[in-house]
A and B are shown apart, each in its own frame.
Chain A
Amino acid sequence: MKNIIKIGWQTLKKPSGYYSLGALVIGGFIAGVIFWGGFNTALELTNTEEFCISCHEMENNVYEELKTTIHFTNRSGVRATCPDCHVPHKWTDKIARKMQASKEVWGKIFGTINTREKFLAHRKRLAENEWRRLKANDSLECRNCHNFDYMDFTSQSQRAAKQHSTSLASGEKTCIDCHKGIAHHLPDMKGVEGW
C-alpha cells in the first residue's frame, strides 16, 4: 500500500518525459472545460425551485406562504421562483451566494429549523440576513425583473407613483426598504426600521 502511494507520488513529482508540453496544455484546457462546465451544470441544478423545496424546511414554511402572493399567480402569468429572488444571476455573485448556502446544509444537518416552532423562532434572524443582502446589492434580484427605467408612473397607483418618484428615484431607498414581506409572512417587526 505504502509503495503504491510512493510510486504515484513520484510520478506526479517527476517532470513529464512522455508527453509534449503542447499536449499537456491542450489536455489541461479540455479538462478545465469539462470541470468548469460540470460545476456550472451542478450550479444550474441547484438553482431551481424543485431543489429548494426538496427540503421540508423550505417547502412547509416559505413556499406555502409564497403561494398566496402576487409573485405566485397574477394576471400576467409571470412567476417568480425562489432562485429568482434569492440567488443572483451573475456568475461571481452566484458563487459567493453558494458559499453562504453551504451554511444552510449545515443548518439542515443540525436541524436549526426542522420544526415549524423552530423556524418561527429563527425567522427574524433569517429575514434580517435577507434584508441586509438585498439592501447591500441595491435589491438586485428585484431589479432583474422590475426595471426602474421602464416603470410607468402614470399607470401606477398614486401611492406607488409618489414613493417611486421620490425616495426610490433619488436612490435614497431601494425596493427592500419599502417592500418587506412581499413573498412570505413577516417575523416580529419590533425595532425594524420603517415599522
Chain B
Amino acid sequence: MKNLIKIGMLLSVLLPVTASWAAPGEVATLREKTSIDQQKKPGIIPKVINSDIKQARNYPMQPPVIPHKIRNYEVNLNTNKCMSCHSRQRTEESQAPMVSVTHFMDRDGNFLAEISPRRYFCNQCHVTQLDTKPVVENEFVDMHAIMKQKSLAQK
C-alpha cells in the first residue's frame, strides 16, 4: 500500500512535466531550438528611438513613453537627472513637459511641494522605445476602436 502511494505521488509529479516536454519547440522559443551545449548567436541590439516626437497614449492613464535616449542618466539617492529637465522649476529653460500634477500627490491625495517619493523612480513607469518589431504579438485594442465598432453595430 505504502509503495503504491509512493508510485502515485511520483507519477503525479512526473506526468505534467513529461506533458510539457512533448512540445519543446513551443517552450524554448528564445533559444530557437539551439542545442543545449551550444550558444545562440546573439541578435543585433536594437537602437533606442531618439526622435523627440511625442507618441500617442493608448489609454488616458498610460504613462507616456520616453521619446529620447536616457543612456547614463542617473536616478538614485544623490540625483535625479530626469527632474533636471522635467521638474516644475526647470521646464522654462529645458522646454520639456512638466511631470503631471499627480506626481506631487502622496497616497492620501495631499499635494506636496516636491514630487512624492512614490513617484521618484521615473523608469518604474516610463520607458524608452526600441526601433524593432515586438517579440510577442500585441492584441491590445484602443477603447475608441471598440466604441466605434459598437456604434456601427447599433446603426
Quick one: which of B69, B79, B94, B95 contacts A181, CB cutoff 8 A?
B79
- Is there contact, CB below 8 Å, between B52 and A159? yes
Within the assembled complex, what's the spacing in Å between the Cα atoms of A36 and B19?
A: 82
Nearest-Cβ distance from residue A177 to partner chain B, whole angstroms:
10
**Interface check A157, CB cutoff 8 A:** yes
Question: Residues of B within 8 Å of A, CB-based: how many?
Answer: 19
Question: Residues of A within 8 Å of B, CB-based: how many?
Answer: 18
- Is there contact, CB below 8 Å, between A185 and B68? no
- Is there contact, CB below 8 Å, between B84 and A195? yes
CB nearest neighbor in A for B81: A181
- Chain B binding surface SS class: loop
**Interface check A69, CB cutoff 8 A:** yes
Within the assembled complex, what's the spacing in Å between the Cα atoms of A69 and B78?
A: 18
- Is there contact, CB below 8 Å, between A195 and B79? yes
CB nearest neighbor in A for B78: A188
- Is there contact, CB below 8 Å, between B79 and A162? no
**Interface check A83, CB cutoff 8 A:** no
**Interface check A101, CB cutoff 8 A:** no
- Is there contact, CB below 8 Å, between B79 and A188? yes
- Is there contact, CB below 8 Å, between A159 and B68? yes
**Interface check A186, CB cutoff 8 A:** yes
**Interface check B55, CB cutoff 8 A:** no
